[in-house]
Structure 1
Amino acid sequence: MHSTHRRALLAGAGFAIIGRGLGSAQAQGRTVIRVGWPTGDGAQDPYAIGARAFKEEAEKLSNNRIEVQLFPNRALGDERPMLDGLRLGTVDMAVITNAVIAQIEPAFQINDMPFLFTDEAAAQRALDGEMGASLAQRLERRGVVSLGYMEGGFRQMVNNVRPIARPADVRGVKFRVLQSPIYVGMYTALGGTAVPMAWGETFTAVQQGTIDGLEIPLAVIDANRYDEVTKYLSLTNHIYSMIGLLMGKRNLDRLPADLRDVVRAAATAATAKQRTASITNARQITEGLRGKGMQVNAVTDPAEFRQAVLPMYESFRGAIGAEIVQQALAASR
């Protein structure tokens, strides 16, 4: 539908329109908040689970004074344009990958540091404590309010050479990585070979033996059928994927005080629900991949891996901030 036509219909239905956005608009006692995210709306998609949970909580807690409209599959734009829209007030709310948030607030790089968190509980402890509060303060100064630190699941290693149980097992193995200094640095520190490669080329490269494996979250391994081209799944938990439930400060501040409180309370409740669902899905997917023939192993001594990559923490300390690094390390012990 043409955007002008859509706005006319919404306005006619009693929803006020402010500027280019529809959200945070008050009309007939109702407020519309539009939430966008980059992935699909599947039952096990972590972004979709979080957005749906927020809609349910916000509408319930506000007695339907708030209507939350959901826009999956980049319908409000790719992640960086959505993030910029939050700052400008043209996008109301979004669920966005940590690495993209780090593009406007470098302190968020802490969440992508390897082997920082041993499990979900450690990550949640840090994000719900001093570290998370410090990150939120820095982000708010950029015009974006962090309403909840949701969970994309840990990234794991899959390959065709050997199970990865200790740092020495990574040596000589060629892993596809994101084009990121953190990911390249991690494999370099462990003695492996990092091969930056576009996602669209990766499956064929593994299939043909150009690379030995890659590192991705469990849901992505399953959805993209990497069990068909890789043998070993090692639950390394090397990077915790945080996804942020974010709202533009401009649009949050436009709300009446009682609805601001509702939005924050709904986000807190939705984050708790989303995290629980993410952990449940991870267990189910792991067992499903095992059932499809993958050889699955857990890492018994994550401290050994962290020790191997500790020099990276020093090299990123300046960009992230010494205080944030210290808070993260303290919470993850």
Structure 2
Amino acid sequence: MLFPRRSLLAASALAMPTLAQSGDALAQARPTIKIGWTTSDGAQDPYAMAAHYFKEELAKRVGERIDVQLFANRALGDERPLLDGMRLGTVDMGVITNAVIAQVEPAYQINDMPFLFSDAAAAQRVLDGQVGQSLAQRLATKGVVNLGYCEGGFRQMINNTRPIVNPADLRGVKFRVLQSPIYVGMYTALGGTAVPMAWGETFTAVQQGAIDGLEIPLAVIDANKYYEVTKYLSMTNHIYSMIALLMSKRSHDRLAPDLRAAVQEAGTAATARQRTAAATNARALVGSLAQHGMTVNEVADPAAFRRAVMPMYESFRGAIGADIVRDALAAAG
């Protein structure tokens, strides 16, 4: 689905349509919520699923009282401008990668700590509990409401140089990473080369050989056709990719109380649906990507990767918050 490019101003929060006049009666105006995200509008894209499920769940609760409009493929801008727009009230909602949220609220870096979660159930246990509540409260003070911790799946490494079987295989390989000190730190600890880069530039950079590869969830590899420009898929499971369904606090607070409650309920319901669908899709995607020509491998010794990155936990404790690190490690088991 293609959308016209719009300025952030055009995505102004909860823009109220002009009241239409029919005879002597004025039709009731309804608020509009515009949701943006940077990846595709594919049926299996985890960002797209979060947005569509939210729209469906909200409609179940309020009918046509709110007009939800969806904008994929960076139609409202890249992730950091989307997030900044939410803080200012010029963007209503977005589905945003955790590492970008952490640029605004550093405590969110806990979700990107490598090899923290053994599986998706452990990650959801942490995010649905005290740690997730604390993160949401901190983000609210920055002007953004967290409506749900959705699932992008575990991030894997793809590249055109060699399979990543052991940490030593990363040496000399240039990987695009999110613009996050944790992602840069992880590749440094493992002996690779990290190249921070905006998402919109990445496909072309791989295609032209400016970088060798990137790290990315399976669903995003498939939805954005990265199998066309990369050869090796290594199942490193190094970081659990949390993607958040976020809303501008200004947009949220302008709604009537009953509509605010419906938005919160819709966020919770959409998150549950999105997690289930994302997990189902991930199980099928490995075989599909292999059929598209990617060479798939498991890592030989996951513990070797964990040992290499463990010093990061101490170095990031201050930036994240000692209490968040402590509680996340305890809840993750």
Q: Under a length normalisation based on structure 1, what TM-score does the superposition of the two structures give?
A: 0.82
Look up the equivalent residue of 2:40 and give its one-letter code.
Answer: G
What is the Cα-based RMSD across aligned positions, in Å? 3.0
Which ranges in structure 1 are unaligned for 5 or more consecutive residues? 15-26
- Pick one of 10, 32, 53 that aligns with 2:17: 10
- Shift in Å at residue 97 of structure 1? 1.7
- Shift in Å at residue 165 of structure 1? 4.0
- Pick one of 201, 207, 219 that aligns with 1:203: 207
- What secondary structure does 1:297 align onto? strand
- Shift in Å at residue 65 of structure 1? 2.6
- Shift in Å at residue 270 of structure 1? 0.4
> Do the aligned partners of 2:17 and 2:31 also contact (CA within 8 Å) in 1?
no
My pick for the range that moved more, 242-251 or 172-181, is 172-181
The equivalent residue for 1:24 is: none
- What secondary structure does 2:103 align onto? coil
String of CA shifts for 1:264-290, please: whole Å, max 9, x gaps.
Answer: 111000011111221222222211112
Is 1:82 the counterpart of 2:82? The answer is: yes
User: Using a 3 Å threshold, how does the CA distance of structure 1 residues 187 and 76 change in structure 2: closer, same or farther?
Assistant: closer
The equivalent residue for 2:314 is: 314
Name the CA distance, whole Å, in 2 between partners of 1:211 and 1:56: 39
Name the CA distance, whole Å, in 2 between partners of 1:270 and 1:9: 25
The equivalent residue for 1:274 is: 274
- Shift in Å at residue 105 of structure 1? 0.8
User: Using a 3 Å threshold, how does the CA distance of structure 1 residues 57 and 313 change in structure 2: closer, same or farther?
Assistant: same
- What secondary structure does 2:318 align onto? helix
Which ranges in structure 2 are unaligned for 5 or more consecutive residues? 22-26
String of CA shifts for 1:37-88, please: whole Å, max 9, x gaps.
Answer: 2233221222111111011110111243333222223333332232222222
My pick for the range that moved more, 93-102 or 298-307, is 298-307
User: Using a 3 Å threshold, how does the CA distance of structure 1 residues 92 and 159 change in structure 2: closer, same or farther?
Assistant: closer
The equivalent residue for 1:39 is: 39
User: Using a 3 Å threshold, how does the CA distance of structure 1 residues 232 and 66 change in structure 2: closer, same or farther?
Assistant: same
User: Using a 3 Å threshold, how does the CA distance of structure 1 residues 40 and 308 change in structure 2: closer, same or farther?
Assistant: same
- Shift in Å at residue 92 of structure 1? 2.0
- Shift in Å at residue 307 of structure 1? 2.5
Name the CA distance, whole Å, in 1 between partners of 2:18 and 2:229: 51
> Do the aligned partners of 1:175 and 1:215 also contact (CA within 8 Å) in 2?
no
User: Using a 3 Å threshold, how does the CA distance of structure 1 residues 314 and 45 change in structure 2: closer, same or farther?
Assistant: same
Look up the equivalent residue of 2:309 and give its one-letter code.
Answer: V
User: Using a 3 Å threshold, how does the CA distance of structure 1 residues 86 and 196 change in structure 2: closer, same or farther?
Assistant: closer
- What secondary structure does 1:145 align onto? strand
- Shift in Å at residue 141 of structure 1? 0.9
> Do the aligned partners of 1:176 and 1:202 also contact (CA within 8 Å) in 2?
no
> Do the aligned partners of 1:173 and 1:193 also contact (CA within 8 Å) in 2?
yes
User: Using a 3 Å threshold, how does the CA distance of structure 1 residues 106 and 12 change in structure 2: closer, same or farther?
Assistant: same
The equivalent residue for 2:256 is: 256
Look up the equivalent residue of 2:173 and give its one-letter code.
Answer: K
Name the CA distance, whole Å, in 2 between partners of 1:309 and 1:193: 15
Name the CA distance, whole Å, in 2 between partners of 1:108 and 1:219: 22
Is 1:292 the counterpart of 2:296? The answer is: no
- What secondary structure does 1:80 align onto? helix
The equivalent residue for 2:175 is: 176
String of CA shifts for 1:145-167, please: whole Å, max 9, x gaps.
Answer: 11101122221113456543444
- What secondary structure does 1:259 align onto? helix
Look up the equivalent residue of 2:103 and give its one-letter code.
Answer: Q
Name the CA distance, whole Å, in 2 between partners of 1:139 and 1:9: 26
User: Using a 3 Å threshold, how does the CA distance of structure 1 residues 107 and 50 change in structure 2: closer, same or farther?
Assistant: same
- Shift in Å at residue 330 of structure 1? 1.8
- Aligned residue runs from structure 1 range 45-60, under 5 A: 45-60=45-60
> Do the aligned partners of 2:151 and 2:274 also contact (CA within 8 Å) in 1?
yes
String of CA shifts for 1:12-59, please: whole Å, max 9, x gaps.
Answer: 448xxxxxxxxxxxx727443222222332212221111110111101
The equivalent residue for 1:216 is: 216
Name the CA distance, whole Å, in 1 between partners of 2:228 and 2:208: 11
Name the CA distance, whole Å, in 1 between partners of 2:327 and 2:140: 19
User: Quick one: percent identity of the two aligned structures?
Assistant: 68
